[in-house]
Structure 1
Amino acid sequence: MVRTVALVAALVVLVGLTPGTAAAQRDRSCAVSWGSGAKSAYPTATADLVGIRAGRHECFDRLVFDFRGPADGHWVSYVDSVSAEGSGAVVPVRGGARLQVSVHARAHDDDDYRPTYVFDDPAELVDATGFATFRQVAWAGTHHGTSSVGLGVRARLPYRVLTVPNRIVVDVAHQW
């Protein structure tokens, strides 16, 4: 037993591990340079919004907009209050900070206005229970080819927006 403890102590010294080092390494690996300013992209392709989902990751929480086809236009910014598309009414959103996330995609068919994105509760589009950063995702409407949500987060944290085939992704870091 004494020999094992001595071997472990020697390994700790050899590789430079000390108590808390694993957490410090994780914190360094989660360092981001994304910033918290507004991010936007002019649409070059638009499609119908068909889903919104969220996921938890080690260093960030992720919100994903799924489309039927390519879509890449977006405007994302921290706001004092989230505004509903069309009416401008305030959409209540929980959290220490609010992101207005607008994608250049409609949530209904063009011809007969049948919804392409259907949800049960506009105030709770996804279950954010247990997320490190997300507090709420609320529907802010669709109007003239733009659909928006209010993303409540615990604080004004850095975020990034990615466009990938048939998706727009918003990642909000857990820390600065």
Structure 2
Amino acid sequence: MKRIISLLASLFLLGALGLVAPVAAQAAPYCGITWGSLAKTRSGFAYDTHLTNLRAGQHTCYDRLVIDLDGDVTGYSIRYVTAVHAPGSGTAVPLAGAADLQIIVHAPAYDDGGRATYSPANPTKAVSVDGYRTFRQVALAGSFEGETTVGLGVRARLPMRAFVLDGPGGGSRIVVDVAHQG
């Protein structure tokens, strides 16, 4: 018994002196998300694909923006920037939130005749994201020389991912998810 008390006292003393390191609890990633916040890109360009719609949805661990195209996804560039700029003019597009995601899709929002293939009633609020945990604003910044720029205002610089889905029909979609937490 004396030995056990002596051992416990020694362990207590070593712990108090910091000589025995406590086991560090490693937190699991939020919802298993390990995406990071660096730029997501895909190369390619096609003159016969056009942006036709923007829509958003809420999920348990992230908010989602979907960019609908009437053909195959060509290329895109998605990155956090200090400000999103309208293509052509370079005018800064003000966005709500503490971080701005610039999404450039290598497809115009107009057809060969110059007619809009996507024209929201209010380009500065192209999609309603009221009540979303991460998204603060979706703005159609413009379409110029075969590329369309979308500004996505988010609550903070958070992990994000982008991927492509085929369909429906001959169309395709670019999906941008932004996590609720880092």
Question: TM-score if structure 2 supplies the norm length?
Answer: 0.78
What percentage of aligned pairs have identical amino acids?
A: 50
Q: Residue 86 of structure 2: which of 84, 90, 108 is its match? A: 84
Root mean square deviation, CA, Å: 1.4
State yes or no: 1:175 paired with 2:176. Answer: no
Give matches, 1:2-21, under 5 Å: none
Separation in 2, partners of 1:135, 1:105: 24
Checking the alignment, whether the CA contact within 8 Å between 1:95 and 1:153 is kept in structure 2 is: yes
> Residue 60 of structure 1 corresponds to which residue in structure 2?
62
Q: Please tell me the residue identity of whatever aligns with 1:94.
A: A
Which structure would you say has the larger Rg?
2
Question: TM-score if structure 1 supplies the norm length?
Answer: 0.81
> Residue 19 of structure 2 corresponds to which residue in structure 1?
none
Q: Please tell me the residue identity of whatever aligns with 1:114.
A: R
Shift of 1:37: 0.7
> Residue 134 of structure 1 corresponds to which residue in structure 2?
135
> Residue 75 of structure 2 corresponds to which residue in structure 1?
73
Deviating beyond 6 angstroms after TM superposition, the runs of 4 or more aligned structure 1 residues are none
Checking the alignment, whether the CA contact within 8 Å between 1:159 and 1:171 is kept in structure 2 is: yes
Aligned residues: 149
Separation in 2, partners of 1:154, 1:137: 12
- Structure 2: tracts of 5 or more residues without a match: 1-27, 167-171
Q: Please tell me the residue identity of whatever aligns with 1:72.
A: T
- Structure 1: tracts of 5 or more residues without a match: 1-26
Shift of 1:54: 0.3
Q: Please tell me the residue identity of whatever aligns with 1:116.
A: T
State yes or no: 1:147 paired with 2:137. Answer: no
Shift of 1:29: 6.5
Checking the alignment, whether the CA contact within 8 Å between 2:45 and 2:107 is kept in structure 1 is: no
